[in-house]
Amino acid sequence: MFFLASLYTLCRPGEIACIEWSWCNFDKDYISFPTSIMKKEKARDIPMTTQLRALLKAQVKTSNRFVFPACRAGKKKSKLVMNIPALERKKKEIEDKKQSIIEEWHISRESVNTLLNRNGLQGIQTEHGLRSLGRSFMAAKRVDPILAEKCIAHKTENLEGLEEYQRY
């Protein structure tokens, strides 16, 4: 399911790994990613396609706040892929609620790479490469370059040399 969520959203591995149930709005069909986990520290809403919505609805809800909880709890603690100032703010919020940010666990951001490697794609395809695959598909379908770059959470201020980046 984690693999499919990566394909359906084209998000970075760390963003998908730490999706929380509270970020999923099933009434309006989107996932709201907070600034604290985003590479560019900019909040981002991802629309839920029919396939993504069905995948999330099929995911078993546990007491864990993460959509993709770790299979082996206790092995690896969540770092939430945050920058230090955001982590400090989050720790303060959680201290106020008398909780700990590292009590719950989410799937490893490397899970998709492990899956790909175990299925003979080591050195051929990576999880992050799925984003490139999606971007190349959009270019082949002649999606506006600015829109395509926004879909994969890239900056769109300076798109000079963008054609050199294309992988199609």
pLDDT value at residue 77: 46
Side-chain half-sphere exposure of 126, counting CA atoms within 13 A: 8
pLDDT value at residue 158: 64
- What are the CA-CA distances from residue 64 to residues 22, 25, 75, 152 (Å)? 11, 17, 15, 27
* Dihedral sign, Cα of residue 10, residue 46, residue 43, residue 153: positive
pLDDT band at 46 (very low <50, low <70, confident <90, very high): confident
Structure tokens at 74: 């206790």
pLDDT value at residue 51: 94
pLDDT tens digits, 85-120: 666 776 667 665 544 444 467 777 778 778 788 888
Please check the confidence at residue 30 and state whether its pLDDT lies above 50: yes
Q: With pLDDT > 90 as the criterion, what percentage of the chain qualifies?
A: 14
pLDDT value at residue 8: 87
pLDDT value at residue 31: 93
